[in-house]
A = this chain, B = another copy of it.
């Protein structure tokens, strides 16, 4: 993978802000530093970084990307829209073990709770 300016900048954006960002948000941030960058390039780099396990994609209405870290679960507030990382790993592991016993092999997961957050 070639170390292009575009790739370096997008990686830096994720290092600077460890939140859940859309492709378009990344594009706007990258565009400030590299006005010639194209949205298609942002999408291609995001896809590549997901394939390489550098990023993770969260499928909500619009795709959101975040740095790949220890596995976690998401809570999205229906009022303010904030996305939080929440605990629950033991319970999920328990489900995955039961699936394994049944002969299924889990490689990925998407666990999202929706509701009203503490502040709202």
B-binding residues in A (CB < 8 A) = 59-61, 73, 75, 78, 86-88, 91-92, 94-96, 98-99, 102-118
Contacts and interface: CB of A to CB of B under 8 A. Distances in A.
Contact of A98 (B88, B106, B111, B115): B88
- Copy count, this protein chain: 2
Contacts of A104: 75, 113, 115-118
The 8 closest A-B pairs by CB, nearest first: A91-B91, A103-B118, A88-B95, A108-B114, A106-B115, A105-B116, A107-B115, A110-B112
Contact of A113 (B73, B78, B106, B113): B106
A86 B88 CA distance: 18
A107 B114 contact: yes
B118 A114 contact: no
15 contacts: A78-B107, A87-B98, A88-B98, A92-B95, A95-B113, A99-B113, A102-B118, A104-B118, A105-B116, A108-B113, A108-B114, A109-B111, A109-B112, A110-B112, A110-B114
